[in-house]
Structure 1
């Protein structure tokens, strides 16, 4: 297996950059160390969106977060998707590149169709073999490390033979990829499984090897009545249990690049910055 480039930089705090905040991000004094964008929003040959991203890149470091590779599928990620991602990475030179531990593509009648969602995978040896092969193929094309995000999943496959984070860490060890640890996804899965979410976050953190963690995501979910399914909609501020989990992570695993995600029911730019500033304060307090 060919070595891939692992990007190293000082732990930083950023936010997910969405369209309503472009003007604020470019016009106000920089208050962030990086921003993260969804790769698929910039898969074009030119035009205003890509031009704006180049302008953003002159002001901030950029992390590229993809959703369409389908790393957990039985087939390799579609060549067209991988070419688009590679072209964007070459143009922007991001500090981090990531996707999800999911499958997304299905072949039918000689065509591959995207499910339009991030679908959960089984955690077993067969799935691990294919997952590692897919991650390795992406890293070889990109020539750099890929981070893989743990998923908010609304069902569990009965043929899983290992835990989610055992699976992901074995993948990291075999491929040289990193883990994008989304604390809110752990929280959501715990709530939906009827577990005590704070204890589950602490349990997961204690099981992790700090060397594998390349980035941390903090987000919130719209509260639901007790007993209803909690959906990871990134539609609220980061809830207190997730903040407490982040404090635990800093104490156990050390400082990591941290991103605040907010994708629906978007707040003002200032509110988003306040969430990022809270993360920065915690990071500094733990590692002054």
Structure 2
């Protein structure tokens, strides 16, 4: 499988609230990201709009139901439908989450946490190999937000992700908000987490908001907070050219508000020593 070359640009999620904006004319972004499952159909208006947008912009496909941590393996029908969409859209890349969502008979539609054990690592790597071989391309996998840990854990999350990337050749989608949320919830250092990752495997960054509280919840319904922007600046000091995206899935504001947040990411990168000469 060929490598995923770095792509440097700033994008937004293609959400129903903004379909008309994208149909009306060129939105000032470098790429869009779509939720893969929303377009894994044979026809209909969403797929028509995606093909319209794809004529002008690169598209990243981001899944929520592959269930890469499923002990039952990957669903063949799901992979076949995903592969058809990949061939139709020819995306920048295909990504999903380090989690499980499905049993043999039920899809929870939640991104459920993995135990960080050697047995789970073997399982995840086998599933990633299966998915990448089916799609004939390497994938990106996103670090989760988490609210509990398992007493069986044998390694940290960043050690698990590093080993996963090394064994399978997959790449990483780094969600900075998820790191911030999980660091708060579990009391580890976000900087230690970043230092433990293979940053040369990162191809995309997500920026999002969360709900505050004693336990922070990754809700994607708020603007990016100051602390996540600060962590983003540290992250960009450690990466080369990558795609950066504002991710909003609920309480979606008018498009100009999201574009203003995206401009803030550009401004942070302009002040970032690692990016100043990129």
- What TM-score do the two structures reach when normalised by structure 2? 0.94
* Match of residue 30, structure 1, among 14, 17, 27: 27
Which range is displaced more, 206-215 or 277-286? 277-286
User: Whole-Å Cα distance in 1 between the matches of residues 78 and 146 of structure 2?
Assistant: 23
1:48 aligns with 2:45: yes
Which range is displaced more, 265-274 or 200-209? 200-209
Answer whether contact 1:178 1:214 (CA < 8 A) is retained: yes
User: Whole-Å Cα distance in 2 between the matches of residues 61 and 263 of structure 1?
Assistant: 20
Shift of the alpha carbon at 1:37? 0.6
Shift of the alpha carbon at 1:177? 0.2
1:157-176 map, 5 Å: 157-176=150-169
Match of 2:197 in 1: 208
1:120 aligns with 2:120: no
Shift of the alpha carbon at 1:132? 0.3
1:1-288 map, 5 Å: 4-107=1-104, 112-193=105-186, 195=187, 200-224=189-213, 227=214, 229-286=215-272, 287-288=275-276
User: Whole-Å Cα distance in 2 between the matches of residues 51 and 20 of structure 1?
Assistant: 16
- 3-state DSSP of counterpart to 1:277: helix
- 3-state DSSP of counterpart to 1:203: helix
Answer whether contact 1:183 1:201 (CA < 8 A) is retained: no
Shift of the alpha carbon at 1:94? 0.6
- 5+ residue gaps in structure 2? none
- 3-state DSSP of counterpart to 1:59: coil
- 3-state DSSP of counterpart to 2:271: helix
User: Whole-Å Cα distance in 1 between the matches of residues 202 and 24 of structure 2?
Assistant: 32
- 5+ residue gaps in structure 1? none
1:49–1:29 distance in 2 versus 1, CA, 3 Å:
closer
Answer whether contact 2:13 2:246 (CA < 8 A) is retained: yes
Shift of the alpha carbon at 1:29? 3.5
Q: Deviations over 1:72-92 (max 9, x none)?
A: 111221001111111111100
1:115–1:10 distance in 2 versus 1, CA, 3 Å:
closer
- 3-state DSSP of counterpart to 2:34: strand
Answer whether contact 2:208 2:220 (CA < 8 A) is retained: yes
User: Whole-Å Cα distance in 2 between the matches of residues 218 and 186 of structure 1?
Assistant: 11
Shift of the alpha carbon at 1:247? 0.7
Answer whether contact 1:86 1:142 (CA < 8 A) is retained: yes
4+ residue segments displaced more than 6 Å: none
User: Whole-Å Cα distance in 2 between the matches of residues 36 and 247 of structure 1?
Assistant: 22
